[in-house]
A = this chain, B = another copy of it.
């Protein structure tokens, strides 16, 4: 029984509510942008957004992403060591980790599971304690080679 929105309608309502709290509106442009983020099962780059929503000017996309971040709807993802990407915050989706393909730059979402999460949180706590650091969250990225790049050695470039 997660406290996450469980269907598309509830999700959009939750997003609209968050925007309202920030005195912002859930316009059709923003809705298209968010819908794209929802449909993608991975963090998306600006160029993916541009390709998917050709009628949404870049400057508007950037500005919307800033606003959506401010409202706690979207967060930046520092992917490989390359491009900035965006995804819905975990309050709207679920906690997950990322698989980063070192070959093509693809980023995949992978759900963790409660056992792993407990173990990771414990480790994080232990490591943080050494520096009197207060752990609030963690991020686990797995670097390697995706299925496509394993079977097709010639593919290259970020998706």
Residues of A at under 8 Å CB distance from B? 75-81, 84, 97, 99, 101-102, 108, 110, 112, 116, 119-120, 123-124, 126-128, 130-147, 150
Bound-complex Cα distance A54 to B131 (A): 30
In the complex, the chain B residue whose C-beta lies closest to that of A79 is B78
| Total copies of this chain within the assembly | 2
Return chain B residues, CB-CB under 8 Å to A128. Answer: 99, 110, 142, 144
Bound-complex Cα distance A80 to B76 (A): 9
In the complex, the chain B residue whose C-beta lies closest to that of A80 is B78
Q: How many Å from the CB of A121 to the closest CB on chain B?
A: 10
Partner among B78, B112, B116, B134 whose Cβ is within 8 Å of the Cβ of A78: B78
Contact A133 B119 (CB under 8 A): no
Contact A150 B134 (CB under 8 A): yes
Return chain B residues, CB-CB under 8 Å to A97. Answer: 127
Contact B138 A142 (CB under 8 A): yes
Contact A127 B144 (CB under 8 A): no
